[in-house]
Structure 1
Amino acid sequence: MKVLFAASEAVPFIKTGGLADVIGSLPKALAKQGLDVRVILPKYEGIPQHFVQKMESVAVFDLQMGWRSLFCGILKLEHEGIIFYFVDNEYYFKRNGCYGYGDDAERFAFYCRAVMDALQHIDFMPDIIHCHDWQAGMIPVLYRAHFSYQPPYAHLKTVATVHNLKYQGVFGKEQCKDYFSLGDEHFHGYALEQHGGASFLKGGLLYSDFITTVSPTYAEEIQTPYYGEHLDSLLRSQSHRLTGILNGLDYEEFDPMTDPHVEINYRDSLAKKQQNKVKLQERLGLPVNKEIPLIALVTRLVDQKGIALIDRVIGELMSLDAQWVILGTGEPRFEQLFRWAANAFEDKLSAQILFDEGLARQIYAGSDLFLMPSLFEPCGIGQLIAMRYRSVPIVRETGGLRDTVIPYNDKTGEGTGFSFTHYNAHDMLYTVERAVKLYRDPNVWANLISNIKKKDFSWRKSAQQYADLYQSLVN
């Protein structure tokens, strides 16, 4: 079984969010199942030089995009047993960052065309092209419109995965007609039309053979108006070919036993975890105290992550007998909130308004509790890393958070964290208060850690589900 992943980012080459973690780790898990999985990415300026130096050129060709004849190079690199291809065109990709340019429609139209055109040049004809998020969303459309009737391609199947429905790649209809050489029949309400323009993501949803998203609960949620981002009716109509497969965590990459960023490596030793807490308190300038619970947020400081709830009850949260550490960047109003709180409550809260992977790992290792009060969360990786590092999650029951964190039950002793249902600041406050109180009970805490220990959030099970899905499409 040959599978080609088409995505706009992947660890360790380029990353803006959780998509990159998935594309960096899922192919390795699928390879263990015996599949030949390869990945094709844009060759951005930001890819570290030591990777670029190892790339070898496999093809150079002219690509037709509407009336334009454009240079396209394909480079190749093997990393951790997986072959990665890189689409090279300096005009489109030799820039800082990945997205947010005025010509993103043209840049990712070029990328989608390059993926299809590269197939005859790279000596790899997949059975499945697995397209991730809006940036790769037009590949199934191109396939249906221009390739499906040609013998070498006729057997191909396409899968579209939604990592976050909020981002839909909506651009002008005329641009899309031009870039993809598509007729008017592709641009009405039952096709690409969205908000008066044309949506790359909608193309992926409608023209692919199967749709997946990154947790079972999110797959249900996006079929409702509240979470559906104006695509809920379309998704309900396609529910027979839509499923949610939970993202896993790369257990080799995230392992407190071997993590070079962690001061004192450990697995299940709460004593060693406490030593990491002391080191973290020292580094952050918080009062050193093993007994006080340390609550962490490692997140983008944006509305989606539920920061508005914290804003609403920040005074009450600071009155709890707990310490806080915040790591992340985002909306200026939320950055300002935590800077203010760090000044006003300097013994209680440390605000690190930056992104630092090494510090993030130390926070996972040194914190006792990990807060994720998200408005919506397709899967979430923070709660998975937290549990791997034995930091107990406090989450809102949405998307992948609901699928991965079992609320603690006082009577039965079951559960792996704390959760609240409604997007409500006082429900969150009550749940944090309860977690802080139960932290003081060593039996409860030992039990929680023991429950977390038994959970397996590696990619193994999910990779098997993807492999089964591919098999069902090819048969």
Structure 2
Amino acid sequence: MRVMFAASEAMPLVKTGGLADVVGALPKALAKRGVDVTVVLPKYGEIPKAIADAVSTIAVMEVQLGWRRQYCGIQEVTVDGVRFLLIDNEFYFKRGYLYGYGDEAERFAFFSFAVLEMLDKLDVLPDIIHCHDWQTGLVPFLLKTRYANRPGYRDIRTVFTIHNLQYQGVFSRDLLQDLLATGDDSFTEDSLEFYGSASCMKAGLRFADKLSTVSNTYAYEIQTEAYGEKLDGVIRQRSHDLWGILNGIDTEVYDPMNDPHLAFPYRNSIAKKHQNKTALQKELGLPVDEAVPMIGIVSRLTGQKGFDLIGVIMPALMKENLQLVILGSGEPNIEAMLREAHLAHRDKIALWFGFNEGLARRVYAASDMYLMPSRFEPCGLSQLIALRYRSVPIVRETGGLRDTVEPYNEYTGTGTGFTFGPATAHDLLYTVRRALSFYGKEEHWIKIVDNGAKKDYGWDASARLYYRLYRELVI
């Protein structure tokens, strides 16, 4: 079975979020099941030089994009056993960062056309093109319309995975009509039209043969008005084609016993974990005390992640015996709130604005608890990494957080973390205080950590489900 992943980012080449982790790790798990996976990415300027220098050009072509004819190089490189094909056009992709430009529609329309034009240059066509998020949502649409009569293309099936429904690639109808050189019939309610504009996410939802998203609970949530981002009706219509498949993590990459970023490698040793805590306290200028409970956060600093709730409870949190370590960047008002709290409580709060992979690993390793009060969370990888590093999650019961963190029951001794339902500051504060109370009860805390250590957070189970999904399409 030959599967081609089309995505806008993948580890270890480029990353802005969890999408890159998934696209980088899932092909390796599928390969163990005999699936031949190739990953297609834009060739960004941010790709590490060692990888960029290793590429070889296998084809050169032009891509018609409306009235434009644009150069496109197809380059190949193998990294960690995974074959990557890179779409090379420096005007579109050799920039300072991956996203956020005024010509996003043109950049990813070009990428979508290039993915399909490139197939003629390959020795063998894929059985399935697995598309990820709005940046590749046009691929199923184009395959079913523009490329439907090209020899061999009709047999190619598509899967479209929703990693975050909030980001939809919505552009003006006139702009996409120009880029796609298509008529009015493509901008109807049953096609790309979206409240007077056009949506690349909707293109994937409408035209892919199968849909998936990254947890069972999120698959249910996005069919409701509360979480459906105005696409819940479309998703309900396709509910028979929608699979909820939980993400995993690469347990070789995220392994506290073999993590080069840690001062003290460990597996299940609480003592070694506390040594990592004191090392991080020294690094960040916090009071050194292995007994004080440390709560870690590595996150985008946005309202989606529940930082408005954290802001409300911050004064109450600062009255507790704890340390709070936060790594991330995002909305200016949230950064300002955190900076103000840090200035008032330097002995309790450590901040790092931006992203630092090594520091992120040290936060996971040092923290006793890991906080994710998200308003919605399609899957979430941070809570899985936290569990892998023996940090106890405190999460809201939504999306993948609900599917991966079992609330602790002190009477049965079951559970891997602490959870709350309503997205209120009161419920968040109550849950944090409950977690802190059990941290002071060694027998309970060791039980919670041990419960988490027994879970399997790798990709094998998820790869098995994706394999079943693919088989439904090609048999």
Amino acid at match of 2:241: R
1:118 aligns with 2:129: no
Question: What is the SS of the residue equivalent to 2:236?
Answer: helix
CA distance in 1, matches of 2:43, 2:122: 16
Amino acid at match of 1:262: L
CA distance in 2, matches of 1:102, 1:337: 29
CA distance in 2, matches of 1:282, 1:424: 34
> CA contact under 8 A between 1:246 and 1:400: conserved in structure 2?
yes
- Shift of residue 154, structure 1, vs aligned partner: 1.9
Look up the match of 1:335: 335
Amino acid at match of 2:232: D
CA distance in 2, matches of 1:63, 1:290: 59
> CA contact under 8 A between 1:371 and 1:395: conserved in structure 2?
yes
Question: What is the SS of the residue equivalent to 1:147?
Answer: coil
> CA contact under 8 A between 1:211 and 1:241: conserved in structure 2?
yes
Identity %: 54
Question: What is the SS of the residue equivalent to 1:146?
Answer: coil
Matches within 5 A, 1:365-384: 365-384=365-384
Look up the match of 1:216: 216
- Shift of residue 375, structure 1, vs aligned partner: 0.6
CA distance in 2, matches of 1:243, 1:110: 28
1:241 aligns with 2:241: yes
Look up the match of 2:72: 72
- Shift of residue 182, structure 1, vs aligned partner: 2.1
Look up the match of 2:272: 272
- Shift of residue 173, structure 1, vs aligned partner: 1.4
CA distance in 1, matches of 2:377, 2:124: 35
Look up the match of 1:86: 86
Amino acid at match of 1:202: K
> CA contact under 8 A between 1:10 and 1:23: conserved in structure 2?
yes
Question: What is the SS of the residue equivalent to 1:51?
Answer: helix
> CA contact under 8 A between 1:145 and 1:182: conserved in structure 2?
no
CA distance in 1, matches of 2:16, 2:363: 20
- Shift of residue 150, structure 1, vs aligned partner: 3.1
Q: Which stretch shifts more, 337-346 or 177-186? A: 177-186
Q: How many residue pairs were aligned?
A: 475
- Shift of residue 195, structure 1, vs aligned partner: 2.8
Question: What is the SS of the residue equivalent to 1:46?
Answer: coil
- Shift of residue 282, structure 1, vs aligned partner: 1.2
> CA contact under 8 A between 1:393 and 1:417: conserved in structure 2?
yes
- Shift of residue 259, structure 1, vs aligned partner: 0.2
Look up the match of 2:201: 201
Look up the match of 1:44: 44
CA distance in 2, matches of 1:286, 1:84: 43
Look up the match of 2:442: 442
CA distance in 2, matches of 1:426, 1:464: 40
1:170 aligns with 2:170: yes
> CA contact under 8 A between 1:218 and 1:378: conserved in structure 2?
yes
Question: What is the SS of the residue equivalent to 1:64?
Answer: strand
Question: What is the SS of the residue equivalent to 1:260?
Answer: coil
Question: What is the SS of the residue equivalent to 2:449?
Answer: helix
Amino acid at match of 2:392: V
Question: What is the SS of the residue equivalent to 1:267?
Answer: coil
Question: What is the SS of the residue equivalent to 1:313?
Answer: helix
CA distance in 1, matches of 2:354, 2:319: 25
| Over 6 Å off, 4+ runs | none
Could you list the per-position Cα deviations for residues 221-277 of structure 1 after superposition, in whole angstroms to 9, with x for gaps in the alignment? 000111000001111111010111000000011000000001100000111111111
1:462 aligns with 2:462: yes
- Shift of residue 147, structure 1, vs aligned partner: 2.0
- Shift of residue 394, structure 1, vs aligned partner: 0.1
Amino acid at match of 2:28: K
Look up the match of 2:101: 101
- Shift of residue 454, structure 1, vs aligned partner: 1.0
CA distance in 2, matches of 1:339, 1:27: 40
Which residues of structure 1 form unaligned runs of 5+? none
Could you list the per-position Cα deviations for residues 160-211 of structure 1 after superposition, in whole angstroms to 9, with x for gaps in the alignment? 0000000110112122222223221110122111131111110000000011
Question: What is the SS of the residue equivalent to 1:217?
Answer: helix
CA distance in 2, matches of 1:360, 1:351: 12
Look up the match of 1:312: 312
- Shift of residue 123, structure 1, vs aligned partner: 2.1
Instruction: Name the Cα RMSD after superposition.
Output: 0.9
- Shift of residue 348, structure 1, vs aligned partner: 1.3
- Shift of residue 137, structure 1, vs aligned partner: 0.3
> CA contact under 8 A between 1:141 and 1:208: conserved in structure 2?
yes
Question: What is the SS of the residue equivalent to 2:190?
Answer: coil
Look up the match of 1:360: 360
Q: Which stretch shifts more, 232-241 or 391-400? A: 232-241
Q: TM-score, normalised by structure 1?
A: 0.99
Q: Which stretch shifts more, 160-169 or 144-153? A: 144-153
Amino acid at match of 1:12: P
Amino acid at match of 1:307: F
CA distance in 2, matches of 1:292, 1:103: 49
